[in-house]
Chain A
Amino acid sequence: MFVQLKLLLWFRRESEMGKIIGLNGDEAVAYAVKQTNVDVIAAYPITPQTIIVERLSEYVHNGELEAAFVPVESEHSALSATVGAALTGARVFTATASQGLALMYEILWIASSLRLPIVMALGNRAFSAPINIHCSHDDAMAARDAGWIEFFSENVQEAYDLTLIAFKSAESCLLPAIVNLDAFILTHSLEGVEVLDDNDVKRFLPDKRPIYPYPIDVEKPTTYGPLALYDYYIEMKRQQAEAVKEAYGKIVNIMREYSEVSGRKYSPVKAYFMDDAEVAIVVLGSAAGTIRTVVRDLRSKGEKVGVLSLTLYRPFPEKELMNAVKNVKVLAVMDRAYSYGAPGAPLFSDIAATLYNVEEKPMLFNVVYGLGGRDLTADHVKFVFNIAKEYLRKGIVEKKEIWIGVRK
């Protein structure tokens, strides 16, 4: 997949579409953030996100970026400071992973309820215990109910692109946005990344202030974050729910606009050989590339398989997903996270809920994979497709939940 992308980029370079530089996922995010002319970055070091804030502090200390880098003493303070900064109308950014996200948790809800356009990069890393620095989607899933827009990147190029898309989405929808990138698989992998020209970024994301349209202003004194009880709270929450729902259409448009600027196509859902697929996998993040390789291989043998990956996870792309799986007979939902005691891991539950009222729907089963950075191999993917085909043949899902790549 990486090779293919690089070839693509090489052709691009020939056509002088943009500049290609070697960046890992963290650096790609930092580069995009720099191009937004961000005002305040408040962050705390945590593997595998640390390179993002290292690069950003270098930009600031070397005068390449005129911004305040607030080196806070915890992730809780990182997001708290970011909330304060966003209220002034500044463009703001933070980044974290795993335990850091867990420590921020309280403020995630406050940031979204105050409707603050904060952008956060999340280097998806497993929750402790045992402590682990590698990839799970635990942190992304912990944030899923908190009212943030969530994007998942499949590769470093997407991490770069989605960071810019996230700023525009957050600022247009007045909602905070997370860009997920898999720990190490993306945060530390070097790719040739095609970056936009600074002027193109400015055209896509206008450099005007205030970003938040109701900033702290002594001429218009506002009380932010009051006490609201049973007489007003539920209306506020309903408004927030509507805002997140409405964000979907806006984000689709922003992705389209970005596709025009960059020449790289973005939409909430990426479908690969889904038109006539009988069995298919749906997945988040970097695993999509591996699965696509297997799909290509199986397709060459005449098998009707496909893969669907979600670039936008919140708000959830219900309609596009329904549409993409309408001809699928068996759908394997692959989760890189778990929800203990729940009827399914997070993505599985989302998809089951999406499809429940649909008349013609695929049979579903849940595959748990890759926790704590365990490799997902092509053989694992073939194994999943084989199970799906078996269920198709038998006309029944024998096991709703299977774990793959687990030592016996």
Chain B
Amino acid sequence: MSELRLIKSIKEIPGQKYEYLAPGHRLCAGCGAPQLVRIVLKAIPDPKIVINATGCLEVATTIYPYSSWKIPWVHNAFENAAATAGGVEAAFKILEKKFGVKKPHIIVFGGDGGTFDIGLQALSGALERGHDFVYICYDNEAYMNTGIQRSSATPRGAATTTSPAGTVIPGKPERKKNLVEIAVAHGIEYAATANPAYPVDLYNKIVKADAVEGPAVIHYFNPCPTGWRFDPSLSIEIARLAVLTRVWPLYEVEKGEYKINVMIKKPRPLEEYLEKQGRFRHLLRPENKWMLDLLKKDIEENWKWLLRRAGLA
């Protein structure tokens, strides 16, 4: 990956000439998805196409007869974005060989429901078969499009409409699944986490993911003011706090080598992150301390695990 056009500053991100997502879409103010899409489409050169799983990004950008997409865009169903992308990729490869049709860069967007849950099988199959695409999970940690139901990406203790902050069970009892580790277990060459508060890091990771022959997976922290219940102006601040509290470690796995991109030597108190979001506020009540402790343990264990993987512990 020596000749990659990696950047050092946000000023190097290509400007207005390279916008592929038109304004006027119906994504919520403060949603992390449009920023993700814009940066991804700037980082990946032409020709390029997008495959989109059913979800917020899909419904909010393609309300017929309008579309925000200035490049070819395909939506098939909820759980099959990776399978659809696999078919597109296989077809372009053989058409290139037989008929000289040029294969575009293939980018897949799926939410956490479409990736962690219902689409996990299709994703696993596509990763195992080695289709050449960049799969990006924009993770807003619940089924936001259907009205904030818990997914296997919802962190422990978070309140959703199907894991409410009840008097007996205060939020989601189970811990969050590790998507990057699942992706890495397929032996793929590149997987990484990303976050909108670190756009340079995000941009460079997309460049690297795109450069890989075969599949690459990006797991993106997608702030959701509606589902997490915070003011839209706080999106980036919350995203940054997720990194600074070790909730969302920024790391990448290149050919099995783990590298922590933003080292958090001294984490900020988790409470700073939690108190800003309605979904977590109940955890700060004394009677729910047991759940808060479990969440803290998840975060601590995950960080220690990452240090071991990165050869730092």
- A residues apposed to B, CB below 8 Å: 39-40, 42, 66-68, 70-74, 76-77, 80-90, 92, 106-107, 110, 209, 216-218, 221-229, 232
Contact = CB atoms under 8 A, between A and B. Distances in A.
Contacts, number: 155
Given A42-B87, A84-B91, A232 B76 contact: no
A225 B94 contact: no
Contacts of A39: 91, 94-95, 98
A80 B51 CA distance: 12
Task: Name, among B58, B89, B91, the residue most crowded by chain A CB atoms within 10 Å (CB to CB).
Answer: B91
Interface string B62-76: 111101011111111
Contacts of A89: 91, 95, 101
A228 B64 contact: yes
B86 A218 contact: no
A77 B47 contact: no
B129 interface: yes
Nearest to B59: A227
A218 to B, nearest CB: 4
Nearest to A77: B83
Contacts of A72: 83, 86, 125, 129
B90 A223 contact: no
Contacts of A40: 87, 90-91, 94
B264 interface: no
* Closest A-B pairs by Cβ, 10 of them: A81-B87, A84-B87, A73-B125, A80-B80, A77-B83, A226-B62, A225-B75, A85-B91, A80-B83, A223-B67
A217 B88 CA distance: 12
B296 to A, nearest CB: 37
Contact of A222 (B58, B63, B72): B72
Contacts of B47: 218
Contacts of A110: 76-77
30 contacts: A39-B91, A40-B87, A70-B87, A71-B129, A72-B83, A74-B125, A76-B79, A80-B87, A81-B87, A81-B90, A84-B74, A84-B76, A84-B84, A84-B88, A88-B91, A88-B101, A92-B91, A107-B76, A107-B80, A110-B77, A218-B46, A221-B70, A221-B71, A222-B72, A223-B72, A223-B73, A224-B75, A225-B62, A226-B63, A227-B63
Contact of B74 (A92, A209, A224, A229): A224
A88 to B, nearest CB: 4
Given A72-B83, A84-B84, A84-B87, 5 more contacts: A72-B86, A216-B49, A225-B75, A225-B76, A232-B64
Nearest to B82: A77
B48 interface: yes
B73 A224 contact: yes
A217 to B, nearest CB: 7
A147 to B, nearest CB: 15
A227 B145 CA distance: 13
Nearest to A218: B47
Contact of B83 (A76, A221, A225): A76
Nearest to B65: A232
A31 to B, nearest CB: 20
Nearest to A111: B76
Contacts of B83: 72, 76-77, 80-81, 84
A67 B69 CA distance: 31
Contact of B86 (A81, A88, A107, A221): A81
Interface string B133-163: 0000000000000000000000000000000
B92 interface: yes
A65 to B, nearest CB: 11
A80 B64 contact: no
Interface centre among B48, B70, B79 (most CB of A within 10 A): B79
Contacts of A107: 76-77, 80
Given A84-B51, A107-B80, A216-B88, A226 B125 contact: no
Contacts of A228: 63-64
B289 interface: no
Contacts of A87: 74, 88, 91
Given A73-B122, A226-B64, A232-B64, A106 B91 contact: no
Contacts of B70: 221
B94 A68 contact: yes
Nearest to A73: B125
A245 B108 CA distance: 36
B62 A227 contact: yes
A76 B77 CA distance: 10
A227 to B, nearest CB: 5
Nearest to B124: A73
B128 interface: yes
Interface string B274-294: 000000000000000000000
Contacts of A76: 79-80, 83, 122
Contacts of B80: 76-77, 80, 107
Interface string B85-126: 111111111110111010010000000000000000110111
A404 to B, nearest CB: 40
A88 B72 CA distance: 11
Given A72-B125, A226-B62, A226-B64, A83 B76 contact: yes
Given A80-B83, A106-B77, A107-B80, A223 B69 contact: yes
A90 B91 CA distance: 6
A90 B99 CA distance: 10
Given A77-B122, A110-B77, A227-B59, A70 B84 contact: no
